[in-house]
Structure 1
């Protein structure tokens, strides 16, 4: 009978995980001053929502698909050191917030919708800067176009 070698284990066995040393990232964070921390941009593209925005009553009643793109500047982003989602802007939460803002009421203009989204992101997440783009991929106009969109850039209180 051949001897068992460490590299010849049955397929159903998992390899032993190497032991990891205690994470001292919090100590690393304490050593950083404000000038050494990174500024991070969190970006979301193509968030697809069904909404009821538009100038015409039909747009507001029937509704349509809307695409939302966002960029948020996170100054002094500790997550680059701590690796904790709590130390940055959680893009999953932001998507839920944008869906709530875009679907809780109807706006006539995409400009106002972009502003409402930007205001909530700045107030809820403290983003330094926010860029919001809302796109109607099938706009209700009598000419052939690929899409119509409005972009808004807003600086936060510190931006």
Structure 2
């Protein structure tokens, strides 16, 4: 296990996620933060793109999953994103995903609600 991290912060998506009927009918804004545990030493030594994880491809796969599927819970969305990240590249050893709902449907003034999960490759 490495302590190296490839960080993808502030990915904005419009997704169908929520328990309320109006959240299931209309996409709403989410912000995703993804932390990939991957050994960055090979890329650091070689300065070759092929020696690291293609974060553009990971971002595209994450956005496609978040925007292309429907979720009742943010926990489920986060779990799905972890699956996508672990499948994206065999060098990914660990994934932490944070899903933040930018307009939570509560009467109180709450700027965001969210979840953060961490999973390891098998």
Question: Could you list the runs of 4 or more consecutive aligned residues of structure 1 that deviate by over 3 angstroms after TM superposition?
Answer: none
Is 1:91 aligned with 2:55? Answer: yes
What is the deviation of 1:76?
Answer: 6.1
- Which of the two has higher C-alpha Rg? 1
The aligned length equals: 120
Structure 2 portions without partners, runs of 5+: none
Question: RMSD between aligned alpha carbons?
Answer: 1.5
Contact 1:51-1:102 within 8 A present in 2 as well: yes
Structure 1 portions without partners, runs of 5+: 1-37
Instruction: State the distance in 1 between where 2:29 and 2:108 align.
Output: 18
Cα deviations across residues 75-129 of structure 1 (Å, max 9, x unaligned)?
3642111212221111111110111110111000010110111011112212111
Provide the TM-score with structure 2 as the length reference. 0.91
Instruction: State the distance in 2 between where 1:156 and 1:44 align.
Output: 18
Partner of 1:130: 95
Instruction: State the distance in 1 between where 2:53 and 2:26 align.
Output: 33
**Cα–Cα, structure 1 residues 146 and 85, in superposed 2: closer, same or farther, change >3 Å?**
same
Is 1:46 aligned with 2:4? Answer: no
Instruction: State the distance in 2 between where 1:86 and 1:99 align.
Output: 22
Instruction: State the distance in 1 between where 2:97 and 2:3 align.
Output: 19
Please state which structure has a larger fraction of its residues in strand: 2
Contact 2:5-2:37 within 8 A present in 1 as well: yes
Instruction: State the distance in 1 between where 2:78 and 2:69 align.
Output: 13
